[in-house]
Amino acid sequence: MNTMSHQPRLERLRRRMEEAGIDVMLCFKPENSFYLTGFNPIIYSHPVVAILPREGKASMLVHALRDDHARASTFLEDIRLYGAWSTKVTMGPSWLEALKTMLTEGGFAEAVVGIEEDFLPMTRYRDLQGILPGARFADVSQLVFETRLIKDADEIANARAAAAIADVGMYAAVDAVGQGGNEREIAITSMAAMNRYWAETYPDAEVCDFGSLEGGVQNGLWTWVFTHERIFMNCDNPTVRRPVKGEPVFIDIWTIVNGIHAENERTVAVGTLPDEIKRAIESIIAIRESIVPLIKPGTPISELYAQARRGLEENGYGRFLPGRIGHGIGLGAHEGPSLDAKTSFPLEAGMLLTLEPNLRMPGVCGTQISDTILVTETGCECLTRSPNGFLQV
């Protein structure tokens, strides 16, 4: 992994830490510890702690069984171990005691320690208070969020790769709809195509997603398929229900490459749709096209939502307004900012977001079309490039 490509994000974090008066930051949240270290253990049954001092070298604390994996993945030099595993030399059996030693030796026993209040359970927070009774804790959730908003060159390159894989999956899914496949067959066909393309085109890339304390996600190339009324479920395991003529099919694809996500969502017409459903889909397509020119540096995010709202109201869909028309994407498949009426800060070059104005009309239909979009210096670039107009098979 290229150490230099990660230095800009660490320096941006340090500048924000200085402004906030944070002496050292501890990150446990998988996406954030990866952001600081480049290491994703896939399963987080033992804590991974990324430690970033305002001055000095960043370090990482991992369980001994993750040692080889961590050293092969991280761009950091300072890796400390805890626990017991084979002949590994560790700082002791407990991550908590090891962390106490590291922070005390670093001079942070009575420092201002940044923690992720939006992620840490109360038990872990109390544990940290117990080992650092003289420290003052401050929330760095917003600080990290603001830093992650602007993607670095390597993150953008990974987003492009993830989007390319998603496009392959979408082509395969749409074709499988045309072949008469059921939800499960469509999803399997799509995911198989994505995995083949990944293996052939990006052999050195990882597609693991971020796991949890109790499970891991070894492969994050996912396709969901929903037929007709099941569109209202938004997220569910595909069934053996087969699309029939005259109804829409919602295809939802998420991909990830080296920690960075992309999203590609399409609504596909099976045969000729009833006029009311076709009109809803065509209205959403037109509304999306009216929003794209607004996606550029300086545009307040709320203005994108306002444009979608105007379009929906003008087309007679005012009472079906969605809560948002997209979201940030990157280390999280659904991260901030939310593209809604309340988010007023402006777009900046380097942001990644999804554009997904949609309609959910109970008893009639649901529509969803989403692309992964990069905000550029002069406007925007759509990274997912499979056809996003009216699709009919």
Please give the pLDDT value at position 212.
Answer: 87
> Edge to edge, what strands does the sheet with 78-82 contain?
78-82, 59-63, 49-53, 24-27, 112-115, 136-139
Q: Where in the chain is CATH 3.40.350.10?
A: 3-148
Bridge-based pairing of strands 352-355 and 326-328 is antiparallel
Please give the pLDDT value at position 237.
Answer: 94
Report the C-alpha gap between 271 and 268 in whole angstroms: 9
Helix count and strand count (H, E) for the chain = 10, 17
Query: What is the average pLDDT score of the chain?
Result: 96
Question: CB count, 10 Å around CB of 381?
Answer: 14
Q: Mean pLDDT for each consecutive 10-residue tract of the chain (393 residues)?
A: 69 96 98 97 95 96 97 96 96 96 96 97 96 98 96 97 98 98 98 98 97 91 94 91 96 98 98 96 97 98 98 96 96 96 96 96 90 98 97 96
Q: 55 with 107: CB under 8 angstroms? A: no
Structure-token pair, residue 264: 């590609």
Please give the pLDDT value at position 2.
Answer: 44
Domain 3-148 has CATH 3.40.350.10: yes
Taking the CA atoms of residue 235, residue 241, residue 245 and residue 251 in that order, the dihedral angle to the nearest 10 degrees is 30
Please give the pLDDT value at position 117.
Answer: 97
In 3D space, the residue among 255, 253, 224 whose CA is nearest the CA of residue 159 turns out to be 255
**Four-way CATH pick for 150-392: 3.30.200.20, 3.90.230.10, 3.40.50.300, 3.40.190.10:** 3.90.230.10
Please give the pLDDT value at position 363.
Answer: 85
Bridge-based pairing of strands 391-392 and 260-270 is parallel
| Residues in contact with 167: Cβ distance below 8 Å, sequence separation at least 6, in sequence order | 264, 384, 385, 386
> Edge to edge, what strands does the sheet with 326-328 contain?
335-338, 326-328, 352-355, 371-375, 380-382
Q: Which residue has the tokens 């076709």?
A: 278
Q: Which residue has the tokens 């005390």?
A: 104
Structure-token pair, residue 140: 């760095």
Please give the pLDDT value at position 213.
Answer: 83
Q: Where in the chain is CATH 3.90.230.10?
A: 150-392
Please give the pLDDT value at position 313.
Answer: 97
Burial of 184 (0-12, 13-18, 19+ CB in 10 A): middle
Question: CB count, 10 Å around CB of 200?
Answer: 8
